[in-house]
Amino acid sequence: MKFAVVVFPGSNSDHDAYYAAQHVLGQHAEYIWHKDTSLKGADAVILPGGFAHGDYLRTGAIARFSPIMAEVQTFAEAGGPVLGICNGFQILLEAGMLPGAMLRNRSVKFVCQHVLVKVEQTDTPFTNACRPGHVLKIPIAHGEGNYYAEPDVIARLERNRQVIFRYTNAEGVPTDAANPNGSVANIAGLCNEGRNVVGLMPHPERACELAIGSADGLVVFESALQAVVNGVGGHFSRTAVAR
């Protein structure tokens, strides 16, 4: 399969995502510059972490207007799997492709550490290879990952099972101590109603090899492969997005 890794000015996890897809997973990956207008036949799109446009104004606020984003939106509307990691998640929020917004971490500090996140739902193209309740050790690195949405939006997300990842302790309990940034309901990642667009603050692409402390994140990429090859997870079908 082929992953498109979108590169914004200020992306810094694009190489990590590319490496995870191309070298660890052994699939194809291609960088797509944010001013491009084609995803070049990719089966899945990754909006990587970083500080697109310096995070000026608000995180993701300017990147969402990059020319490639119209194509990403079209791809997503056709059911194509889109993964937003960290800054990529923030871009999806600003673009309205996922509900809610990010606030400054409650500590007002940039937090860079391994955290534990529980996989809440496995019927998405990025979690279908996980066990339900799987607790993953994955790093975070952000200053604005304090997820916020109005209570009625949170209630809808919970009702629709759109909360995909939650910060928890080792037992999978979403305690306040396990919440690194103050996110509402310990939300670390969520999906859209179509379940094909997933955003998360932790960096699975930085946890794909034991040599760097954890290989727990690889399952996210394995899920994408399984989704594309077998049509497992979400409503995605390969022909639907063939170009």
Partner 1 sequence: MRARVFVTLKPSVFDPQGKTVTDALHTLGYSAVKDVRQGKYFELDIDARRPDEARALAAEAADKLLSNPVIESYRIEIVDEVIA
Binding site for partner 1 (CB under 8 A): 57-58, 61-62, 65, 93-94, 99-101, 103-108, 146, 148-150, 182
d(CA 86, CA 188): 10
Nearer to partner 1, 60 or 81 (CB): 60
d(CA 197, CA 73): 10
Residue of 71, 191, 205, 208 marked catalytic: 205
* Least Cβ distance, residue 207 to partner 1 (angstroms): 27
Amino acid at 9: P
| Residue 86 among the catalytic residues | yes
How large is the greatest C-alpha to C-alpha distance in the chain, in angstroms? Answer: 47
* Least Cβ distance, residue 224 to partner 1 (angstroms): 28
Nearer to partner 1, 172 or 182 (CB): 182
Amino acid at 47: L
| Residue 23 among the catalytic residues | no
| Residue 134 among the catalytic residues | no
d(CA 195, CA 99): 13
* Least Cβ distance, residue 106 to partner 1 (angstroms): 5
Nearer to partner 1, 93 or 140 (CB): 93
Sheet arrangement for strand 111-119: 28-33, 2-7, 44-47, 82-85, 197-200, 187-191, 163-167, 111-119, 135-142
d(CA 78, CA 4): 16
* Least Cβ distance, residue 148 to partner 1 (angstroms): 6
d(CA 208, CA 83): 16
Nearer to partner 1, 150 or 158 (CB): 150
Residues with active-site annotation: 86, 203, 205
